[in-house]
Amino acid sequence: MDDLSCNLYFLARVLVIVIPLLLASLKLRTTMRDHKPRLPPGPWRLPVIGHLHHLAKTPLIHRALAGLARRCNAPVMYLRLGELDAVVVSSAAAAGEVMRTHDVAMATRPMSATVRATAAGGLGIAFSPYGERWRELRKLSAMELLSARRVRSFRAAREDEATRLVAGIAAAACPPGGELVNVTARVAASVSDSALRAMMGERFERREELLETITHALKIGAGFNMGDLFPSSRLVAAIDGTVRIAQAVQRKLFELVDYAIEQHRHRERRSGPSAATDAEEGEDLIDVLLRIHVEGGLGCSLHVGDIKAIIVVSSLRSLHFRI
């Protein structure tokens, strides 16, 4: 009897502790379920990796996403990619909601760990968070970097690159050594060369080194890598190594941009102040940014870090034709 009494007493104590915990757990789950956001529909998913297995069937991710949206009949579709949540919009009406109705909520670009490492943590206009600073940089870009006058100032460089393109195709295709010409590759190289001349001028001494580094950076940033999909896991980041490589590439890009900036400053010092007064028409992107950095204007204070980030991101966006 004593043993039975002890057992019953022990069981009663356990129930007194466990029952309130169970009730609290049920209440918490109910509360979380009531406050859980309503997510768009999506395909079936697996633990840990989420919907990644649906995207592994083809290297063309956009086609895989389009096929999933058709199968799920979901113009707005939810995907779980490792630890990341993603919403895929694949209809004109839904895109209008994103781009017009909710444009402010969608204005800030999310950055993966790889992009953050490559793009200097979001400096410059491309990845800067939406806000007053971004609006200042946008105004600067519209009035100083992308104006019609600025575009016309690069006409001579574009015409020169077009002439080189035609001459190169003709020389490669004409007999006696005539051969098949990859016009797509040559046009891509011509476009990227025109963009590079507009950004850094035609006398940048480490041009080939910069193009090679940009090509490497673009290949790193294309597609998925495990470090981006599981950002909270240090083990995955250590095994994957992509973020570490991106940081090394970013340091190399900034080294090259620093070299280009110093080259421009050295040229300005040699030319003297008299040449600077009427040189605006022949300015490249670095010239414009350095002038704004020194003189100010448009209500925007441009820091050296902004200058480097703008040049790096502009290079990545403009020279992706090379791959």
DSSP of 91-123: SHHHHHIIIIITTTTT-SPP--HHHHHHTGGG-
- What pLDDT digit, counting tens, does each position of 188-242 carry? 888 878 888 888 777 677 878 888 888 888 777 766 678 888 888 888 778 888 8
pLDDT of the residue at 279: 55
**CATH number of the domain at 132-322, please?**
1.10.630.10
Half-sphere exposure of 239 (CA within 13 A, CB side): 8
User: Which amino acid belongs to residue 88?
Assistant: V
Predicted confidence (pLDDT) per residue in 115-151, tens digit: 777 766 556 677 777 888 788 778 877 787 778 888 8
Are 276 and 302 in contact by the 8 Å Cβ rule? The answer is no
Given a contact cutoff of 8 angstroms between Cβ atoms, the answer to whether 196 and 211 are in contact is yes
d(CA 54, CA 46): 10
Domain residue extents for the chain: 1-36, 39-106, 132-322
Cβ atoms within 10 A of the Cβ of 141, count? 17
What backbone phi and psi angles, to 5 degrees, belong to 282?
A: -100, 15
In Å, what is the CA distance from 62 to each residue of 25, 55, 56, 88, 321? 41, 9, 12, 10, 19
- What pLDDT sits at residue 263? 82
